[in-house]
A and B are shown apart, each in its own frame.
Chain A
Amino acid sequence: MPHRLTPRALRFGALVRERIYEAADYGRTMTDGTDAAEAGWFSDVDPGDVEAAGDAIVEGRAERPREWPRLAVESGYVASEAEYYDRLHEAAIYAARREVREREGADDQQLIHAVRAMDDSARVANELAERVAEWAGSRIEDADTGIEYARELAERDDDDPLVSLARRVRDLDDERASLRAHVERATPDVAPNLSALAGPVLAARLIALAGGLESLAKKPAGTVQVLGAEEALFAHLRGRAPSPKHGVIFTHEAVNGTPPANRGSAARALAGKLAIAARVDHYSGERKPELDEQLARRIERIRARDSE
């Protein structure tokens, strides 16, 4: 390989290339004076600096393609087109590998921690809000309840321990909101299809309940249907209760938006599609938009039974 890390001295090449152009309406100008929208990935990179080349491939932009191999030779970035392709090959693989690692770093185990932390924050915030409400009721005439009231109290300019506790509630509730935003961002990377079908938060909860995307992908649809309803399921298995119709998937609009008589069917149909989505996500990772429509059609048909 002619192009392992080369000395910094090669920066000379970049200086030679310096040209002065008026910055066009794209605003940004490369340091070598080339209009950003006209520049190739190599325009601002030291030959041999694979990391910078990778950054340029990931972040660069251009409106149209140009004869980059020829331009790279003309600019002195490489000596020949063969060398150009060698460098591009190396930099593109480096960039893609790094990005894949970053995106997959949002892995299912990290997501499980995040969604559990989100639920813990919500639970503790509610618990403390109840304490605040009770305490406030003993001292304040028009005391209210809930997290909203704790937020109101937290605004008071007061050293009172009650106000301080209310501030903890507010902070915990903010933490819950920011964890939720994180889960909403991260889930589509971990499980694009499941996230699209279930919504990011429910998708993350299902992955957490199963213990990971792989174990969710290996569960039959009937198990997915009752994940989160273990207590009811075991009561049923001991013969003390009817079989549960749904677990956490009850939070999905396809289930709770369907009239009670048809909810069992809706839950079964949803669980079936979610199980397929989890398998596609685990084994292929490609987005299959047709799953969304198949689900929408199934639910539509189930709901239409009422009007018959």
Chain B
Amino acid sequence: MYGGGSGTHQSKREMSLEYQAQISILRPSIRARRANMTVKFQDVHGFTVEGNVDDVNVLNEVREKLRQQCRVWWALEANKGVNWYLETHVSSTLKSSLKFSALVNAITLKRLIKKGIPLNFRPKVWFSLSGAAKKKSTVPDSYYNDMTSAVFDMVTPATKQIDQDLPRTFPGHPWLDTSDGHSALRRVLVAYSFRDSDVGYCQGLNYVAALLLLVMKTEEDAFWMLAVLLENVLFNDCYTYNLSGCHVDQRVFRDLLAKKCPRIATHLEGIDFDVSLVCTEWFLCLFSKSLPSETTLRVWDILFYEGANVLFNVALAIFKMNEEELLVTHQVGDVINVIQKTTHHLFDPDELLTVAFDKIGFTTTTTISKQRKKQEPAVMAELDQRLRRLNSLHENGDEN
């Protein structure tokens, strides 16, 4: 939709279609300006969002930037070849065979990804750069179809939970909330629950898989993206039976916030606000329930390229952007309001990503891994202790 067409005629036609779309969005907003109220409209991925005139204008600017980026990507393809962005693996090849062009491509790619991958490039760029393509290539072509047909009528705790969640995943979305959308999401989640029995199905993945379906267009590609995400991109214990990885991430994040935003951390601690109260959902849904859809996908652009550290940087940025407001909060509710007001209205991805990657010192995945290793024993001990305490409670309860 956003790709400049192959000929001038086509791109003009697309431009005019885009223009009409903008007018239909702007029309209620002009009235809204007079009434100074919020309007509901559909964003580029079909989600209904509420916002004021400024938000609508920001969204239109974002669309315009997407169009510009699209032209850049087309031009690069024309110059460097269709798969130019795959020839960037400087780190994985021997230094001696390092080619200058690969290095140039790597720098270009990194910069481009920060600016956002255009909608029609996203499926193939994500699929290649995340490692999903490689993962898929190691199994027979029929893997996904065999899997879905083998397990479609099986009933497990995971499938029961998945069935409950299908109509509860972005209800009201024009495609996800249809029988086609539900069936596709079901097949992806059920197939994955059988592929990885440690994870099975964890609530939260419904939102992640739903967005993957919207971006990737095909179920099979969405399935492989989910697989590479859980098995390679993220730390592999995040969604397991006791969410131990999630506990670890929260501890690491708390320390990181204390280091990078000490004033905020001290203040929140002073009013007894545990940042995990808001961060847990961010990390488990990869922001898909908190940020506007295109902003979420812009975070994912970088996530699939750089790794799980991106989640930490973005979470830090959300706090950092609200520093002054957060410092005058007194109650839990105030903090939540400040944070939610920001996340729900972050229609301009660059506003967030600039803070996340330019203003806060970058945190690498290696640093996060090290910190996670440090926290793991304490988390395991805590979870184990809780389990033992509950078991003894239940045993006593059953005896009575």
Q: Do A and B bind each other?
A: no
